[in-house]
Chains A and B, each alone.
Chain A
Amino acid sequence: MREPILTARDVTREYAPGQGCLGVSLDVWPGEVLGIVGESGSGKSTLLRLLSGQESPDSGTLQFIDRHQTVWDLCSSSESDLRYLGRTEFGIIHQNPRDGLRLRISAGGNIGERLMGVGERHYGDIRAEAEKWLAEVEIDPSRIDDRPAVFSGGMQQRLQIARNLVTHPKLVFMDEPTGGLDVSVQAKLLDTLKRLVHDLGISVVIVTHDMGVARLLADRLLVMKSGQVIESGLTDQVLDDPHAAYTQQLVASILQVN
């Protein structure tokens, strides 16, 4: 049977008393999109940084199983092991594309750099793959030599997605991927993300404060408050039949557009 690829148990990182991430346990299953929702300061982004090895927990365990069935203990992995996983198994999509892109090198270079990171050396192949991925995220491939600094916010975000997915990572972490974008651009990006996640069969952990985004992308949801997971379950179940007082408040605050 299938088993979780990422397992967190009692993961804690406390910045100040009650601040950060306090004793969180979760599993990420192959091919699923796990949403983490909660208000600002509830510890969502901290949790994401812990899960992706960008930060180490004070206590708790984190276990990841890679595509070769190798089991990694992320808490005791060396810097170079974590960098290796970051290049091969993980993708990280930041809220601000400027944090995830290299603005001074071309769009094609941004995608190619990740391919070179996993050992690709043939220039023609790399360029062809970069062109393919630009088209995949609906950026005109003729812009391949332009620097992302001259792209719009939506294009930068799509380029960041291409840069991350080109190496077919197994697990992608997203922190508010549609956060800074125009509503009209968000919808298109969500559609692209949903399609790519499904086609590539990757697992995703996505942090968002937008319940609409959570409903459309996530299979399961975790609700965080004050550093702890207070409710979890199927996305539509948590949103339509919330049990915790805080979740009820969160759901009741959604603006109904239709």
Chain B
Amino acid sequence: MRRITVSEVSKTFTLHNQGGTVLPVLNRISLHVDAGELVVLSGPSGCGKSTLLKMLFGNYLADQGSILIAGDEEEVDLVSAHPHQVLELRRHTLGFVSQFLRVIPRVSTWDLVAEPLERRQMDREEINERVSRMLRRLNLPERLWTLAPATFSGGEQQRVNIARSMIVHYPILLLDEPTASLDARNRDVVAEMVQEARAQGSALVGIFHDDELRGRLADRLVMLEATQCV
């Protein structure tokens, strides 16, 4: 099943407060991703990999073209969608693992990871079971569970973030360097989780700077040309 269909998408940033500088980043990009495959975006730094990934989540707006996202219920074009349609997609269809943890300060690790499950009105016992399994799997020691992640190390925060973003199954999962600040052991755990998501039928799009990992995970590479700036 085709989950993502990007057609002729372009993106230009206009920096009004920096002399109106215009930065063309993507020029008529097309790609598609099916259920059960992992497409890795590659290309030199600054070629728009992150920009494209963010557009697939509705975080950045495309200037033109279309980005069709097929959920289980309906297909939505992110380029023309109403914000509520995007929110609805994010609830059930689109997951995003970023490099950064952006949460309300002082909320405990446990509550942060449980939140996506609570939003799906899962029963308490199953939530507890899944949260502790997830935190153990990512080697987050139990003494950290009741603490807020603000004081954690970069790698620990990153793992809280992964736990939170991957605890529910999404038909589409977008990965922005999910292993950036992880050690080898935890990187392998995340790689395994990514492969499991694919085996469960998720369509995945990712950016991985680690060549070894990219080689291990990618079904397909999509090369983005260096910026078409003149």
Q: State whether B104 touches A234 (Cβ < 8 A).
A: no
Pairwise interchain contact A248-B16, C-beta atoms closer than 8 A: yes
- Output the least CB separation between A86 and chain B (Å): 27
Does A220 reach chain B (CB closer than 8 Å)? yes
Please determine whether B83 and A191 come into contact, CB atoms closer than 8 angstroms.
no
Q: How big is the B interface, by class? A: 20 to 34
B47 in contact (CB, < 8 A): no
Interface of A is mostly: helix
Nearest B residue to A239, CB-CB: B59
Q: A187-B105, A216-B104, A245-B16 are in contact. Are A234 and B119 (CB under 8 A)?
A: no
Residue B45, interface by CB 8 Å:
no
Report the minimum CB–CB distance from A20 to chain B (whole Å): 26
B191 within 8 A of A: no
Q: Is the CB of A191 within 8 A of B104?
A: yes
Cβ of A182 under 8 Å from chain B:
no
Across the interface, which residues of A come within 8 angstroms of B60, CB to CB? 237, 240-241
B107 nearest CB neighbor, chain A only: A191
CA distance A190 to B107 in the complex (A): 10
- Expressed in whole angstroms, the minimum distance between the Cβ of A196 and any Cβ of chain B is 13
Encode contact with B along A187-231: 1 for CB under 8 Å, 0 otherwise. 110110010001000000000000000011001100000000000
8 more contacts with CB within 8 A, not counting A187-B106, A237-B59, A243-B61, are A184-B106, A188-B106, A190-B104, A191-B107, A198-B119, A215-B102, A219-B87, A248-B17
Q: List 24 A-B contacts (CB under 8 A).
A: A29-B84, A32-B84, A184-B106, A187-B106, A190-B104, A194-B104, A198-B119, A219-B83, A233-B61, A233-B83, A234-B59, A234-B83, A234-B86, A237-B59, A240-B54, A240-B59, A240-B60, A241-B13, A243-B14, A245-B17, A248-B17, A249-B16, A249-B17, A252-B17
